[in-house]
Amino acid sequence: MGKRYFGTDGIRGRVGEHPITAEFVLKLGWAVGRALQTRGFNKVVIGKDTRISGYMFESALEAGLSAAGVNVALLGPMPTPGIAYLTRTLHACAGIVVSASHNPYYDNGIKFFSRDGQKLPDAVETRIEDLIEQPLTTVEPDALGKAERIVDAAGRYIEFCKSTVPAYTSLAGMKIVVDCANGATYHIAPDVFDELGATVIPLSATPNGLNINLDCGSTRPANLRAAVLEQNADLGIAFDGDGDRVIMVDQRGEVLDGDELLFIITRDRLRSGSRFGAVVGTLMSNLGLELALRALGLDLLRAKVGDRYVMERLLAENLILGGENSGHIICLDRTTTGDGIVSALQVLAAMLHTGRSLHELKAGMSKYPQIMINVSVTGEVDLHRPPIVEAIRAIEAQLGDTGRVLLRPSGTEPVVRVMVEGADTSTVERHARELAGIVRDTLSA
């Protein structure tokens, strides 16, 4: 039986519509407290991004946890990976993130970290869902949970980020544009790069509760590209609303996605003497990444789309590097989860190690044209209907060994993602449009 509320990355939806309501989140906080508190671990940390509904859901979670007898440490606006880090260092039984990542302000979500700073196992999520269906009961008044605000949370996380590169690392002489997506990195990322010596030009770093991810950040790099060229900067860095994704722009204004950044980090790890036989990507990882890794003597292992599945494969195979082309990059030799700031620092370290520009570093990988079209859907999605299956077979036959076709429902949005990849851009675009139309017509029939 599938889970009722949890998707691939927590619980997410439009604010005010079930389950993203104050009433449900209150019950959710209580259920999490009941499911996760153990002897010696009776504290949960709560952090959020900058969307206006975060105030409401932070308070609802606090009330539910208190009713379950669990203490709360409030972090305020904090990148998702920062919450994972502080969950571990504050010895909490769980970390809660109030964020809808790259979605607009009118969406929000709740996701969780276990006490070791990793995503909750499926069994724990199922246990939480079972508790949600039970009546909310309040512990005795003398056992209610207390709340405290961690006033130095940002400073603690900034120091951690800097610790993931060698102590002698200096970015002096670098001019960097940093796009914070008006999100959770706005008061952290610029300081990290500034304290390492870079000249930092902040972009989209004035959140007002409504402008998170609005025409900015890792999903909208046009402003970053323009600023890099206008400022004659060495590079640009863009995060998403909760700071676990990163993309970069080189000095020519060319965008580097997660696949290219993962390749740069991987090659630098090999240069520094790290030993591993494979890197974990996803079904969406570019064929060019697979070929470039093969040239380095490494395999690309493909997991399902979603950073939790990348993490599962990394742990199962005892590997250290993995990621998604969207910019989720996991460096398990540095931290426990995908971290945009930490990943960007690893790329900057590679530039310093080699003395090469970002544009030069990406030259070792040639991306294959990859077109993805989102097809809006409602209700149940059946991608095994004959017209869709027949169309996929026909396109795969034409692409042969030099291309791929992938259809998958999004875990975070009501869309089906239609991806076609191949050696020729015009052919790929034509096939993607054709297949997206067939998917749209078939699912709407």
The three-class DSSP label of residue 68 is coil
Q: State the sign of the Cα–Cα–Cα–Cα dihedral 74, 77, 78, 84.
A: positive
| Number of C-beta neighbours around residue 81 at 10 A | 29
Q: How many CA atoms lie within 13 A of 99 on its CB side?
A: 32
| Number of C-beta neighbours around residue 423 at 10 A | 13
Distances in whole angstroms, Cα of residue 327 to Cα of each of 90, 186, 340, 414: 27, 18, 8, 21
Residue among 351, 349, 329 nearest 285 (CA): 329
d(CA 257, CA 264): 11
Of the candidates 101, 114, 204, 285, the residue annotated as catalytic is 101
Place of tokens 């998958």: 408
d(CA 214, CA 83): 23
Active site residue 101: yes
- What would the DSSP string read from start to end of 248-299? EEETTS-EE-HHHHHHHHHHHHHHTT---SEEEEETTS-HHHHHHHHHTT-E
If you count them, how many residues does the chain have? Answer: 445
d(CA 350, CA 344): 10
Distance from the Cα of residue 315 to its chain's centroid? 18
Question: Catalytic residue positions?
Answer: 101
